[in-house]
Amino acid sequence: MNPALRALQPYPMAELQARKAALAKAGKTIFDFGTGDPIEPTPAFIPAALRAAVPEVSQYPSVSGTPALRRAAGEYLERRFGVRLDADAQILPAAGSKEAIFHLPLAFLDPGTPKDTVVHGTPGYPVYQAGTLFAGGYEHAVILERARGYRLELDRLPAEVLARTSIAWLNYPHNPTGACVDRAYLAAQVAVARAHGIILASDECYQDLWFDEAATPPPSALECGTQGVLVFHSCSKRSGMTGYRSGFIAGDAALIRAYRGWRAAMGVGSPAFVEAAAAAAWSDDAHAADRRRIFAAKYRLLADGLAALGIAILPSAAGLYIWAEVPAGITAEAYATRCLDAGIVVSPGGFFGDGGAGWFRLALVPSLDDCRRALAIWPH
């Protein structure tokens, strides 16, 4: 057995699915705020594009992706962030952002050198840790603090850590807390990473899910330059395509070229018909705006409803999650079990690593009506 398997904690979403299955088998009505897998139908033009692209003869896909998808992704980045990239040299499609995130250290971290460390924040997405362990590297998990806005600030790390760091992960809007950052914060992290020869990897899967249409949308690290920077985008939440498994990596041309070569050896190219659907999705902003309004309505309903029950939340401007404080006198795990007994699935903060104690996460997944029904029976 790979020793990394022994080092990993059980994947938290798998635990939630097992709990949910047991409830369903018992005939319990379930309100699932656990896994970030939206239930809104995929816009009809997306599966139509996929069906139209299914070929009569099936052949191996290209790791580089179709030119149409690279072009659509590049046009999206220019429209959304004002960043113009070379679609052939600076954009690389992926079979969802999760696999691209997991594989990044396997491509760029050499555990036999002094640059053997990956920095990431905790609580956070467990895949940053998993990819590091399987690559044979060392993780430096930075406990993110509410007092500092759950920001990972590279200039606060010890010099010896920065010297050993190969990759530093950012993720804003943040999973699980919903914390957001501005462009000045991103520029500061890019500057520190460049000064220390660190690849700055920015997980930007929630960039199009902001709650106030009049507010400034979440920025991209690419707005601060591409040298040493890679960003990871996904169709999953923006376009309701979690099952399609399609995303892309964009940024530094030399890093993209090297990563493309590594991925060719792994054979992780996506089917061309999936990429046709993804190209259609990235080419359209109207459906993303429609979905954004739905998630914003869920956020407002749940934020107000939880407040009325005396449950405090961390205010957020974007993302797919609500980070809520556990009521006094009970642990997050015990409170999640209490919620589960009522048919409500939530994620204890500890699922996301150190720093999550005393909190639980809600994914903005159930319908508005189901959110109302859940609030009516919510334990507090």
The CATH number for 330's domain is 3.90.1150.10
Q: What is the pLDDT of residue 334?
A: 92
End position of a domain, from candidates 260, 284, 308:
284
Q: What is the pLDDT of residue 269?
A: 86
Q: Kindly state the average pLDDT of the residues 349-362.
A: 96
Q: Are residues 277 and 168 located together in one domain of the fold? A: yes
Mean of pLDDT over the chain: 95
Q: Are residues 104 and 143 located together in one domain of the fold? A: yes
Q: Are residues 175 and 263 located together in one domain of the fold? A: yes
Q: Are residues 27 and 161 located together in one domain of the fold? A: no
Beta strands in the chain (DSSP E): 31-32, 91-94, 117-122, 138-143, 165-170, 199-203, 229-234, 247-251, 321-325, 344-345, 347-348, 359-363
Q: Are residues 236 and 330 located together in one domain of the fold? A: no
Q: Are residues 244 and 330 located together in one domain of the fold? A: no
pLDDT band (50, 70, 90) for residue 272: very high
Q: Are residues 291 and 145 located together in one domain of the fold? A: no
How many domains does the chain contain in total? Answer: 2
Structure tokens that stand for 234 in this block: 């996904």
56: pLDDT strictly greater than 80: yes
Length reported for the chain: 380
Q: Are residues 203 and 262 located together in one domain of the fold? A: yes
Report in angstroms the alpha-carbon separations of 279 from 40, 46, 269, 274, 341.
20, 9, 15, 9, 43
260: pLDDT strictly greater than 80: yes
Half-sphere exposure at residue 105, Cβ-oriented, CA atoms within 13 angstroms = 27
Q: What's 159's domain CATH number?
A: 3.40.640.10
Structure tokens that stand for 196 in this block: 């220390």
Domain of residue 358, residue span? 3-42+287-376
Half-sphere exposure at residue 356, Cβ-oriented, CA atoms within 13 angstroms = 24
Q: What is the pLDDT of residue 6?
A: 72
End position of a domain, from candidates 284, 309, 330:
284
Q: Are residues 313 and 196 located together in one domain of the fold? A: no
What is the spatial distance between Cα 288 and Cα 291, in angstroms, rounded to a whole number?
5
Q: Are residues 365 and 217 located together in one domain of the fold? A: no
* DSSP tally for the chain: helices H, then strands E: 14, 12
pLDDT band (50, 70, 90) for residue 9: low
End position of a domain, from candidates 266, 284, 302:
284
